[in-house]
Structure 1
Amino acid sequence: MSHATKEGTFSYLKKFGKYSKDFYRFNGELFFPSLGIGTYKPEPYKEDNYIINYGSAIKTALRNGIHFIDTAINYRYQMSEREIAEALSEMIQSGEIKREEVIVASKAGFIPLDFPFPENPYGWIKENIINKELAAADEIIIDQHCMSPKYLRWSCEQSLKNLGLDTIDILFLHNPETQLGYVDQETFYARIEAAFELFETLRSEDKIIAYGIASWNGFLYEEDHTEYISLTKVMEIARRIGGGEHGFKYLQSPFNMAKPHAYGYANQQCEDGFYYPLMHACARFGLSFLGSSPLLQKNLFKRPFTPKIGELMQTSDLSDVASALQFARSAGAITAIFGAVAPSHVIDNTILAYLPNATTEAMESLMSDSYAV
């Protein structure tokens, strides 16, 4: 099998019978771990981006119950995808894992350039995108983001090459709100529609199984914000393009102690006319919500957490990182995606696999004290 399956992901989780029953979640199609591993590295121009390698962390995650891997073509100029390929290939060839046991998600939308960083990035864009008629110049926003169907097809097919896979389990449209403020609302949603048409075609070609949107703030802003995205409008597009069997199944957005709005801020108007927080809106539309940035790129740890947090999260004997991850995975996301390069950090995080989720009462208690929009 060339993609993750219900049977494969269930077979995988059975290897970890000592873990808490809360650690794995089923969305009707696949069994997900409540913690996934990501491969994003901020500050891409820093020298350490050229020497780190996610391969060992990926293998450690797969050996310890974490079988959801999140990446994007633009992460570290395509290198994150290529390092995932090395890790997966080694473990699949040795028989340590099977392809159908692993859920792989990537993203398309940002222009990735290539490794090593080109001397003239604008020349790279012109040579590899504009001259090859993947997009017109006015379809490329601030020299970094593009949603033209031809470009998105190229991006998906390049990701397949990078990952060494026949099929990507989930392909996300990456931060589409980047274009808002540069194009009007009508153009924006028309571009979403064209992207979804392309994704449905990619599904029919077995290049992807499902698709979604990975956003930063687009679904979390106030309704009148320039970069606000309406989930209802996006769902209407998906249904119009794909009918009742459309492949728009996933939404990824930040959720952490400093940014808990996806759970507590009612800003998405649904079909009944009422407003709901993003997680609740996703549930109403049958979408699986994936929480990104659970540690807010380590910005949560500028000072130690109060003892109350550990008490509420049942992590008093663990680290602040464990408390933050416990929070991120306990509100309703099907998985919370953490980044780790060091295998030891993956091992540290999987201690949570033995713990039940934090209770709803504990989550609401903590959130009531933690933020104001």
Structure 2
Amino acid sequence: MTTAALGLGTYRIRPSALSDAAVRAASDPATAWIDTAPNYLGGTAQTVLAPALARHPVPVATKVGHLTRQAAKDAESDGAITSEDAKRGHCLSAPYIHWQCARNRTELGRDRLDLVFTHNPEQAGDDPYEALHGAFTALEAEVAAGTLTAYGVAAWDGFDTGTLSVPALHRLATEAAGTDRHHLRAVQLPVSLVNATALAQALEGDGPIAQAADLGWQVYASAPLFGGELPHLATRELTALLNPELTVAQACLLAAASCPGVTRILLSASTPAHWTEALAALRSPAIPVPTLRKVLDVLAAG
């Protein structure tokens, strides 16, 4: 068993710390990765990242879906979204996908995007799959145009509630591309000892993580420390079960990174110390599946 690689998440990071954090994330070319979105940090994350990315060409995942107030105003003015989309603040229509991909390229200073996630498609009205079909078709067109390498689906609770499933997404991408050699290559979802549904399923070889891994997709674990709250909720006794040589935060991070099928852990680490501690944790041996099962049983009984 191996642990997942570490990647920089930019959702909760302090704006003043973002540029330096990006440089730290780029320090190891073998694992470097940054995850962002056009609505992060009030819509400024991508432009703040751009100078660091120009100096350090680290791969970046960005997103389409959520609109800031300014982005909604601009997109509506350009005819890419309707006034109802603008009011809702979320859209996955094909015209919007193309508009947002172009804006992402401009803000990031990239001619080609590495990976674009459809962001929280479970919020896309009554039928997320109908919205995703149009989105996937547009994203396949971006790939064909040479402006995108691959795309994915980033959900918060869509997999837990059953609104989304990996097999259904695979079928939808096949329809959109006209072949099973589509470019849907990744999913992103919360994985932690608190958001433990997908983790528990993966330990039994089931659920979205295992299904994505079986297809050869990348699996990105978001919120591994539950927004920074998990280290305050966990106990030293729990840490001792996971790895007694680690801090509470390190042990909780290693638990998520040890989930079978997870390929990358996304952490919003604003300080060099936090990043170094995270790297040290992920260099530890993976926590065995029986131990992870025991820890989840303890938490369920608590």
Deviation at 1:276, TM superposition (A): 3.4
The number of residues matched between the two structures is 296
Q: Does 1:76 find its partner at 2:41?
A: yes
Q: Tell whether 2:240 aligns with 1:311.
A: yes
Q: Which runs of 5+ in 1 are unaligned?
A: 1-20, 24-32, 43-48, 92-98, 115-123, 267-274
Given that 1:170 and 1:212 are in contact with CA atoms closer than 8 Å, whether structure 2 keeps it comes out as: yes
| Aligned positions of 1:128-143 closer than 5 A | 128-140=74-86, 143=88
Could you tell me how far 1:213 is from its partner in structure 2? 0.4
- Once the two structures are superposed, the pairs formed by residues 21-60 of structure 1 within 5 Å of their partners are 22=2, 34-41=5-12, 52-60=16-24
Identity of aligned residues (%): 24
1:53 aligned counterpart, secondary structure: helix
Runs of 4+ in 1 over 4 A off after TM superposition: none
TM (normalized to structure 2)? Answer: 0.89
Q: What pairs up with 1:103-114 in 2 under 5 angstroms? A: 103-114=59-70
Alignment of 1:285-304 (within 5 A): 285-304=215-234
Which has the higher Rg, Structure 1 or Structure 2? 1
1:170/1:192 Cα in 2 relative to 1: closer, same or farther (>3 Å)?
Answer: same
Superposed displacement of residue 132, structure 1 = 1.9
- The TM-score, its normalising length taken from structure 1, stands at 0.73
The question of whether the paired residues in 1 share the 8 Å contact of 2:231 and 2:252 is answered with no
> How has the CA–CA distance of structure 1 residues 205 and 363 changed in structure 2, closer, same or farther, with 3 Å as cutoff?
same
Identify which of 175, 178, 184 aligns with 2:126: 184
* Residue number among 152, 175, 178 corresponding to 1:212 in the alignment: 152
**2:248 matches 1:320:** yes
User: Are 1:249 and 1:287, in contact at CA under 8 Å, matched by a contact in 2?
Assistant: yes
Question: Which residue in the other structure is 1:86 paired with?
Answer: 51
Cα 1:57/1:176, change in 2 over 3 Å: same
Change (3 A) 1:64 1:233: closer
**Secondary structure at the residue paired with 1:77?**
helix
**How do 1:254-269 residues align onto structure 2 when only pairs under 5 Å count?**
254-265=190-201
Q: What is the distance in 2 between the residues matched to 1:285 and 1:317? A: 35
Give the Å deviation of 1:148: 1.4
Deviations 1:250-305 (A, max 9, x none): 00000001111113249xxxxxxxx9322122233332221110010012133452
SS at match of 2:214: helix
Aligned residue for 1:232, secondary structure, equals helix
Asked if the contact 1:64–1:347 (Cα under 8 Å) also holds between the matched residues in 2, the reply is no
Label 1:285 to 1:52 Cα distance change in 2 as closer, same or farther (>3 A).
same
The amino acid that maps onto 2:250 is A
1:357 and 2:286 are equivalent in the alignment:
yes
Q: Distance in 2 between matches of 1:184 and 1:154?
A: 23
Where structure 2 has 5 or more consecutive residues not aligned to the other structure, the ranges are: none
1:171 aligns with 2:116: yes
Q: Deviations over 1:194-248 (max 9, x none)?
A: 0000000010112111100000000111x4xxxx223322221111122121000
- Equivalences for 1:95-244 in 2 at 5 Å? 99=57, 102-114=58-70, 125=72, 127-140=73-86, 143-179=88-124, 183-185=125-127, 188-221=128-161, 223=162, 228-242=163-177, 243-244=179-180
Task: Name 2:259's counterpart in structure 1.
Answer: 331
Does the aligned pair in 2 maintain the 1:149–1:194 contact within 8 Å?
Answer: yes
